[in-house]
Structure 1
Amino acid sequence: MSDAAIDTLPGIGPVTQSRLADAGIRTVSELRSMGSVEAYRRLKFMLPRQVSLNAPYALEAALRGCHWLDLPQDVKAALQEQAKITDEAFRRGGVARCAL
């Protein structure tokens, strides 16, 4: 199943599939290897106004084969924290990697 198309996961519809493809994520194995948080980061930086906290929940739930409402509370809390960090980084904008 690792080379299966991303839309074979539960809850991944055509819009999410298209967005993930635009982010370079086309297979289940690609999503699984990077994880829901990194996939969320990519989507958030590509589409900041269209991607919400629902995205990491949906991606994580798809990887686990469940509905996002059934994610354990500790998993939801960890995803919320990572989304907050990502959102804050986005608001700060790019950071110079070196001083000239």
Structure 2
Amino acid sequence: MTACHSELLQLKNLGMASVNILRAIGINTHADLKRMGAVEAYRRIKARDINVSKVMLYALQGALLDVHWNDLAPDLKAQLVLEAELPDTGGYNQATA
């Protein structure tokens, strides 16, 4: 196990499977996850056709806040889902690619 794996595994909600998914989208450290944010990380995971549920989105946010994903406030969960489902306004739009 690398130091990066170990660092991510120390975060709440993240197990080896989640860490491997994060590494697949370029997140190797807590700082990487913090920089990208839970919503963008979730979008990138979904864009790679990796089958994850909304619990992954909650888990990522919980990891950033150092709380169990189930303890996130319902309104925060709803806001995360809303943001994750908004059309991507970045430079790359899959719908037009």
Structure 1 length-normalised TM: 0.77
* 1:74 partner amino acid: D
Counterpart Cα distance in 2 of 1:68 and 1:77: 13
- Aligned mate of 2:7, from 5, 24, 30: 5
Structure 1 gap segments, 5+ residues each:
87-91
C-alpha distance after superposition, 1:30-87 (max 9, x if no partner): 0011110010011011124x1221111010011111111111222111112123326x
1:11 Cα deviation after fit: 1.3
SS at match of 2:96: coil
Runs (4+) off by over 2 Å: 83-86
Matching of residue 68 in structure 1 with residue 69 in structure 2: yes
1:25 Cα deviation after fit: 0.2
The residue number in structure 2 matching 1:56 is 57
The residue number in structure 1 matching 2:25 is 23
Structure 2 gap segments, 5+ residues each:
88-92
Question: Percent same amino acid among aligned pairs?
Answer: 38
Structure 2 length-normalised TM: 0.79
